[in-house]
Structure 1
Amino acid sequence: MIQIGDIVARKSYEYDILFRVIDIKEKEGEKEAILYGEDVRLIADAPFSDLVVIDEREKKKREEKEKQHIEQCYKLLRQDYRLLREKSEYEATGGYEVKMDFFQLPGRVLHIDGDPLYLRKCMQLYERIGVPVYGVHCHETDMPDRIIPLLEQVRPDILVVTGHDAYSKSKGSVDDLKAYRHSKYFVQTVRQARKKIPNLDQLVIFAGACQSHFESLIRAGANFASSPARVNIHALDPVYIVSRVSFTPFMDRVNVWDVLRNTLTGEKGLGGVETRGVLRTGMPFRTIAEQT
């Protein structure tokens, strides 16, 4: 018997995605599970008859494959970061050969996530990369009301608004915002944020989840959003995008393709507009010991 918390896959989709059962309901006499993607930001529902509980062996096999993919993207991101740091060091010292100590202030992130488990995964990766972040778990429907107080409290350079989403063909065309589970709340949240901080370079925004209405999010004022081809995006994709922005000097522009190539989803699931970086470099760097 399927229970809340079980990891399952759908027969009708050839077991392509692993889901976590977060709720169970009864529909027309048949039990139905509400599902959250384990690694993709997708919310779905399925009858019990379409679900198979994944055993530990298969789960570990997929986790190992996923871990390898994440490590590959992480290495690319670290490589880019080293290049950006070398460039910043060269510019900060004016190209002089004499060694000069300097410090860097990467952009601060406010990450609002509709899924507490995804938020935890993202916070771990932010910490590993070295991005300063303030994380908040908030249901998607509550985000528009909470965004302004959070912006005033945290004063971030970068805002992430994400969680779960899904497009339902039965509810309308791909152009109809009403056909999406949470896109309208992401759009409302971005609009509220832009009323507070209109400049796209003063507050860089990533918004959206799996299959989200990309065009509406960009029009609302997001710098980066999902999902241009209405495909699923990986749970960690927002982290890869905003980390690149966080470590790009504020005098440089972030090339959209350079950002997307290090994500787990790519240009079908993510897109954006040309944006300035937010990293600032200063000098001299003085330790506490030197000051005393």
Structure 2
Amino acid sequence: MQVKIGDIVARKSYQLDLIFRVINVIENTNGEKIAILHGDEFRLLADAKYEDLVIIDDNERNNRKLKEKQLIEKSYDLLKQDYQLLREKQEFYATSSYSHNEEFFHVPGRVLHIDGDPSFLEKCLDLYSKIGVPVNGVHVSEKDMPNQINELLDKYRPDILVVTGHDAYSKHKGDIDDLNAYRHSKHFIQTVRNARSKNPHLDQLVIFAGACQSHFESLIRAGANFASSPSRVNIHALDPVYIVAKVSFTPFIERINVWEVLRNTLTREKGLGGVETKGLLRTGMPYKKHDNQ
């Protein structure tokens, strides 16, 4: 069966471990057809020869998606439990433990999520909405992110910035510390640097940056609070959402334990890491309902 753009495939040389969307087909210098691949659930950009690809049928894809859904629901349940506990603690602190009959309102941190993949962006926006995180999402190609970030920060004035898309480390292009061996790490790093030039304080603008196999150490040095990927592994498409939701819903009087953030993600400490960061949630009262509510 001929592989074409839009097909869902896996690589025989990797034991069909991940599934990809074919986004382009090119010819290399030897005249061989090469497929350019975007991860279907992971933020990985790859290429493969035609003969290495297997088309994944609907049954196999649905079985994989069912397993993926179960993992996502587990992470979502953990996040809900954490959020409920954080709300109760914040209300206790806000009232100095006094009993009262007033209702509270909560102001979580606002997110600007810029993503190099429009389909992953939509998945993330759906989860932000489900969790209740206020967010603006913008699709920007990874190469254009450094030039557009300042304008986007001025427009949306977020508390949290997510800079993500696709990335990959290629051993044949250089060693693990050579940024030229990474697809888009340099673009993510420069985007973070530009954002930090406008907002240098780590607690005034919280930044998550990176994708699959990104150069974690350089992203942290550039000014990211959280980044991927310490072990150069693949990260799930939704991992950035779990990171920033924890930050958005943690009271501003608390500092976030990095492990408590990572435990809600699908990739955990091999794919994600960060530095101690203050929460952004603020609680107010009284909450006044309108008559038509």
1:259 counterpart (236, 258, 261): 261
2:227 maps to 225
Deviation at 1:187, TM superposition (A): 0.3
1:111 aligned partner? 113
- Aligned residue in 2 for 1:64: 66
Alignment of 1:3-42 (within 5 A): 3-27=4-28, 28-42=30-44
1:121 alignment counterpart: 123
Decide whether the 8 Å contact of 1:100 with 1:284 is kept in 2. yes
- d(CA) in 2 for partners of 1:69, 1:282: 34
Provide the residue aligned with 2:177 in structure 1: 175
Query: In structure 1, what residue type is equivalent to 2:73?
Result: E
What amino acid maps onto 1:24 in structure 2?
Answer: V
- CA distance in 2 between counterparts of 1:99 and 1:186 reads 48
Alignment-derived partner of residue 269 in structure 1: 271
Deviation per residue, 1:5-40 (Å, 9 max, x gap): 100000000000000000001121221100000011
* Residue pair 1:93, 1:100 contacting (<8 A) in 2 also: no
1:25-174 correspondence to structure 2 within 5 Å: 25-27=26-28, 28-174=30-176
Measured in 2, the distance between the counterparts of 1:204 and 1:267 equals 19
Give the aligned residue type for 1:181. Answer: R
**Given residue 87 of structure 1, which amino acid in structure 2 is its aligned partner?**
K
Secondary structure, counterpart of 2:291 in structure 1: helix
State the match for 2:288 in structure 1: 286
Q: Over residues 241-263 of structure 1, what are the superposed CA-to-partner deviations in whole Å (9 max), with x where a residue is unaligned?
A: 00000000111101100000010
Quick one: which amino acid aligns to residue 136 of structure 2?
Y
Letter in 1 for 2:236: H
Which amino acid counterpart does residue 132 of structure 2 have in structure 1?
G
Alpha carbons 1:9, 1:54 under 8 Å: kept = yes
2:77 is paired with a residue whose SS is helix
Asked if structure 2 preserves the Cα contact closer than 8 Å seen for 1:126 and 1:239, the reply is: yes
* Pairs aligned (count): 291
Counterpart mapping for 1:191-202 below 5 A: 191-202=193-204
Measured in 1, the distance between the counterparts of 2:290 and 2:78 equals: 34
Give me the whole-angstrom Cα distance separating, in 2, the residues matched to 1:273 and 1:229. Answer: 16
Secondary structure of the residue that 1:288 maps to in structure 2? Answer: coil
The residue type paired with residue 63 of structure 1 is: K
Contact 1:106 1:279 in 2 (8 A): yes
Following superposition, the deviation at residue 99 of structure 1 comes to 2.7
Distance in structure 2 (CA, Å) of the matches to 1:29 and 1:196? 47
Equivalent-residue separation in structure 2 for 1:10 and 1:138 (angstroms): 28
Structure 1 residue 97 displacement after superposition: 2.3
TM-score (norm: length of structure 1): 0.98
- Per the normalisation by structure 2, the TM-score is 0.98
RMSD after superposition: 1.1
Give 1:241's aligned residue: 243
**1:155-190 C-alpha deviation (Å, 9 max, x unpaired):** 000000000000011111101111101000000000
Give me the whole-angstrom Cα distance separating, in 2, the residues matched to 1:147 and 1:46.
32
Q: Per-residue displacement from partner, 1:53-109 (whole Å, max 9, x unpaired)? A: 001110110010100110010000000000001111111222112232221100000
Q: Distance in 1 between matches of 2:173 and 2:51?
A: 24
8 Å contact from structure 1 (residues 4, 22) kept in 2 = yes
Letter in 2 for 1:79: Q
Q: In structure 2, the residue corresponding to 1:49 is in which secondary structure?
A: helix
Identical columns (%): 69
DSSP 3-state at the match of 2:268? coil
User: Structure 1 residue runs of 4+, over 6 Å off?
Assistant: none
